[in-house]
Structure 1
Amino acid sequence: MTDITTVTGGIPAQPGPSEAEFARGEGAQSTGAGSRGGEEQPMGGAPQDREPTDVIAGAGPVARPGERATVRLREGGEEEPPRYAPEWLQLREAADADARAQELLDPLRIRLANLPGRTGGLVVHDLGCGTGSMGRWLAPRLDGAQHWILHDRDPYLLHFAAVASPRSAADGSRVSVETRRGDVARLTPDALTGASLVTASALLDVLTREEIEALAAACAGAGCPALLTLSVAGRVELTPSDPLDAEIAEAFNAHQRRTGLLGPDAVTVACEAFAERGATVRVHSSPWRLGPEEAALTAQWLRGWVGAAVEQRPELREPAERYLRERLAACEAGELRVVLHHSDLLALPRPTGQES
């Protein structure tokens, strides 16, 4: 019998993602620039001795005492340990790249080309950057010199992001990078002074309403667009279907909304928050479409998805064990396909000087 606790891993002794945090994936708030234990760790797949049913463990150590934060934070709140494993972020990067809405890039390019007072290159703030996959996707799709400011609260992840960042734009212009350590959920408006663009991937759904309001206010205050991709939409389609699909999805969505987080409601709240501050908001679907070629990603996602549902509703444990065992077998056999729905949001602020 497949044991849900064994498969989903629970919360490791070392800092690492819970089941739902694992399933949510990249983004949420991490920190600074540095390597693990003073040594560079290779980007790569899971260790060779890991059992195939193990959930990938945590992201690395917390910051060293006395390490200086370089993002100005609002007062209050204790720093949390890292949440996301580089292996998980790397595993999902190709699916993320395929899913992001290309349709939002043309209106973004037009706005960036016409930013008032723009004399130099673009300044792009990547919030909750993880290992930097958003920069690797977006920077080569934008023309002109770019300076990326990578925000995260995990120095281990920020190290990867800085090392693996792109060095040239779509037209061959230079791309430079700096890292800032801090909790993006408490980012102050003045931290975005001079910003051309704010971007993030898989971030909105792990924020509260207050945090999204603060983010929208910061972007409005800086007069910069925001491109916020891959927020979960709360809908999953599995083929072939199973009678338990809907119940697992409902329990997972409830788990995402715990402790005030917005989960699948985040995009709606963000649309309202940006629109209330005068921005034009566009939303486009950006689903993962997972087939036999993405079996490794599908299997890890399944473990996290089912594990979070059981954590939310313990009475599901017995049927969920059967469900997960059969789903993993179908995945291994190349018979399972998953469409995991996300939404991408582009907020274009009112041009500077335009009256309300």
Structure 2
Amino acid sequence: MSSELLDALTLLEKEKGIDKEIIIEALEAALVSAYKKNFNQAQNVRVDFNRDTGQIRVFARKDVVEEVLDTTTEISLAEARSMDPAYNLEDVVELEVTPKDFGRIAAQNAKQVVTQRVREAERGVIYSEFIEREEDIMTGIVQRQDARFIYVNLGKIEALLPASEQMPNERYNAHDRIKVLITKVENTTKGPQVYVSRTHPGLLKRLFELEVPEIFDGTVELRSVAREAGDRSKIAVYAENADVDPVGSCVGQKGVRVQAIVDELKGEKIDIVRWSEDTVEYVANALSPSKVLKVDVNEEDKATLVIVPDYQLSLAIGKRGQNARLAAKLTGWKIDIKSETEARELGLLTDEDVIVERD
């Protein structure tokens, strides 16, 4: 256990990304146990691993006392000073007690402990890597599935995709490549556990960052996301520069950018609307693709009353109320929708009302 061991530790450090010092510290602790077990020694010992030569030495540690009661752990002041006059009471004397065949015995007994420490260190490296990627997107390969999870290979670890985070319109087969959002990373007794999602709104946000350079570099801001995974989503985008069209940037030439995201999400419809600090304009935009005649805002209740043409009512509300529901999630405002005829009958709309201008 000399230069060959040092070479092996260096190789482990390069291949596994584990600090060599972590392995050496684990090795020293393991060798203490190996020494006590194989040589029936009860004294306090310290194992020293020379980082330059790989030489291993064992030292018995004894407390300097006036009167020795236990020779395995104590040494008299007189004896200590016979070795070095500088010793005083309560000092610790270290005496080398390395057995001749300790290298062979130590290697045999320390292997299991060192392996365990290496495994723990590997887990720590993986945990550190993935905890920094929470809320980030990764591409994985479907490995297998059971009633609770789909197991997705992310390279260094197999992540869990719970049934509740799977898109209802999607079927997963072994070896499928899918993009997932890392939602949670836990450090368990069995090692790091990574949970991922296909339904989280954050996945949609990350997909747009990948496909739209203007979002990635900050030229266009994705201000809000509302999603009903597998069916329909809405995103609100904004550009500080008036010369930049945030909606057009996300759609891309001939719709190529948004279509790539729709394809990744297996046909999920995506409405891209312009964000505005003006509540009237923002709510009207959020109800896309329907047209809006008027928006009344109740600041106190954070609620809006939206009036749409009669023929646009069902479009504004959407199938099973989906369009209105997503618009409310996107804007953070309650939205009550009425048709033009009903609004006029209730006196909520007159010929003098200005029609809301929308992109």
In which range does the TM-score fall when normalised by the shorter chain?
under 0.3
- Structure whose CA Rg is larger: 2
Higher-strand-fraction structure: 2
State the structure with bigger RCO (CA 8 A, min sep 6), 1 or 2. 1
